[in-house]
Structures are given as C-alpha cells and as structure tokens.
A and B are shown apart, each in its own frame.
Chain A
C-alpha cells in the first residue's frame, strides 16, 4: 500500500529535482507520442532539444532562442508574482496584444518622422496598454469581487477582436493595397526593435527581460512588497494581520504583469513580427503560464524555463520542416510538460510511504 505523508517542510532538494524529472518524463511521453505519429522518437527528440544548440545550424538557432525566450520570460515573470500570492492572471495573451497595439499605434502615428524619441514613447505606450488591459480584471476583482480568472481570460477574446479590427481598420497600411496588416515597423528605423548585435538575436526585449529577472529577484527577496506577496500566498490570514492590503496587492500584481506582457508585445511587434496583423499573437501569453510553473515561480528558474520552452518552439519548427512533425504535436508536448510538472510536484510537499499504518 502506497500512501503520501505530508512533509513538515517542503523539501528543498526535491524542489530542484522535480522540474528536471518532469522534463525527462515529458521527453519519454513525448517520444511515445512521436512514435505513435510514425516518427522516430530518438531523432525527433534530438531535432527538438539537441540540434538547435549544438547542430549544424546552431549559429542561426541560438539567436532565435533569445528572440523566442524574451517574451516568454517577460510575461512569465509578471505572472509569477501574482501566482505566488494566489492571484490568477491568466489573460496575459490579451495584455500582450493590447501592448503591441498601443505601442504600434504610437509608432505609426509618428511615421515617417525620424526622431529618437519615437521608440521610447512606443515602449511607454506598450507598457501602459498592457497595464490598462490588466486593470480591468484587477479593478473588477477589488471593487466587485469578480473572479479574476474568468474575466482576464474572457478579455483575451475581446483583445483578439480589437486586434482584428485594428489590422483591418485604423492601423492598416494605407499603401498595403487593401491587405489587412499595418506598416512594417521593423523597416521604420525610428521605431524598429532590431538586433543590437547582428546575428546574436539580442534586441531590446532580451535586454529588458534580463533586467526584469534581476528586478524580480530583488523585489521578491529584498523588498517588503515581495515579502507581502510570498506571505499572502502561504498564509493569507497571517498576511492580513501583518498589515498586507489584499486589494493593493491585486492591483500591484496585475499592474506589473500587464506592464511586462505589454512590453513583450511591443518588442515583438516592433522587431521579430514587424507589424500588427490579424494573427499577430501566437499564444506566448498562455505558454508563459507553463514557463512560470516550470521555473517554480522563481525569477532565475523562469529564465531557464523560458530558454527551454523557446527551445521546444525552435526545435519544433525544425522538426516540422525536416521530419514533418505537425505543429500541434509541439503544443500537446508543451501541455504535457505542465501536467508532469504538477504531477511530480507532490514529491516536494509529500513523502511516499510504503505499508499500511492505522486507518488513514
């Protein structure tokens, strides 16, 4: 008879081992899935996880790794603060879209002026766009006690409609012969978020993500707000006695998450994506949820998790072109990873005991 005994303290050792264990389990289960699709599982796993870093075309893929990881890390960092405090913002995808739309709108308003101020203004607009969208569930939560999970998620669909409307209407390229989609921002020098060092993949989003990792670490470990976040997550009642204002914390966590998601959207639209188009968003806001948990809601963990998840995107694309592995298989693979993470997490808080002892 196997049973679970609660540990007096969560095991520190297991909290480092479990993410690795989950990744390995996902590789095995994913390999089985690839085999079921008629692909050689070993080749598929190697194409996804090994070749982009050490293979023949690694010089190209390594840069792409940073490009894909930056938005994931930015969004996941913001989400992790809320998740730690039991505040569930799962609408980062919408905040990401609104950041991109607002930032791009500012950039396009200045077109074709060649001023240095354009890009900084776009960055500010992008962050504010994300914040504004995140404030809707936050304020509804604090004023009307509305469930923030549902509201933030439903707003993603509203944001997608706004994106479609913008791509076909207000922000459409007047010289685009009627096709939906805005002007290409990456070809407008004052607004472009191009690589800082050619071939490195390093753009302003990557720099911001690295700064955000450090800032989040300092906030959580050295600042009173970070202490309040952790306290609220572990003991909400104790937190209230300690003087934490729950409403202020909700606003703070949503605000930071919205700002970071908005920034991620802006850096994406001004650089790698280049333009506002109907299918501009590709689900980074949702994948970032997996990244946040894979990184155990810890800033450094999230940085590593973001890189790993970016690897599955890039390797997935490579496997798509070389092995004909469907794109959906990667999506299922990423979802599986989150399952395994949650499953092995039990080992951190519980110890497995064998044999029967009394009536449980």
Chain B
C-alpha cells in the first residue's frame, strides 16, 4: 500500500474567527428552547404505552372473578429462560368452579429470569397469563423478585373475556343434566 500524503488546507478567516460556528450553534439551541420537550420527568411522568406492549407477565381473572389459569403448565414448558414454576392443584368438588377441576396451587415467575418474550401469553390456552403494562420492577432481595401467585393476581387484575368457555360448559352441564 502506497502512502498518499494529504495536504491540510489552511483555515479561512471566517473559520479562524469561530463566529459562524457559534452563531450556528446558538441557532439550534434557540430553536429547541421554544420547541416542546422530547424527554419527560420519568418517575413522576409516565409514557403512554402502545397497545400490545409486553411488560411483566401477570395472571388475570375473568369478569366473574374466577381465576382463569388451569395449571396446564404449557407456559412453564415454553418459557425459554425457565422462569415459571407451577405446582398444579385440584379444585375441591364443593367449590362453585368445581367444573373447571384444575387450578394452580402455586404459581411463581422469577422476574430476574424473565426475558419479557411473551411466549407464555401466546401459548396459554385459557388466556390467563398476560404481559401487561408494568415495566418497572425493583426489589431489595432476590426472593422479592420471584412473583408468587398472589402477587401475580394483584398485578394482573381482571380482563374482559369474550369467550367465557367454562360458563358455557357449566350451562351445558346443567342443561344436559336436566334433560336426563
């Protein structure tokens, strides 16, 4: 490789005086002084999240307050970082939702492992696990960052349910029982 020496051009008078550069900089500064802010005062002000935003995974209840999760453990299976741990349990036969038969005894999501990929929401056959708008999670201990079932339902709340499939199932059971 041949070395090509480049000749550095001498600065013009305007460049040497710095004045055009200072004026140009002040123009940009003055423009932004009168424009609306692009940053926000974060902890006090919160951004509006777009629909479909994937925040922390939560468990939700249906409009009648029934816990939707039936502990099928598909989210536990699909979870790439193995953050989910479910202990399945049986719904007692005298409970009002006895026809659902199965519900989680314990449901834990390790938020230190969670990568917010949303596969658990995608795989859930009962639409019970949703990644909602909670994006800022902090804690003082590792244990605090493992969300248990109670915490997951606190975060999740209730979402509208367009299917109510278990209500339909119960209605069919009642109707079927009456015709026999």
The finding on whether chains A and B are genuine partners in a shared complex, rather than unrelated, reads no
Residues of B within 8 A of A (CB): none
Which positions in A face B, CB cutoff 8 Å?
A: none
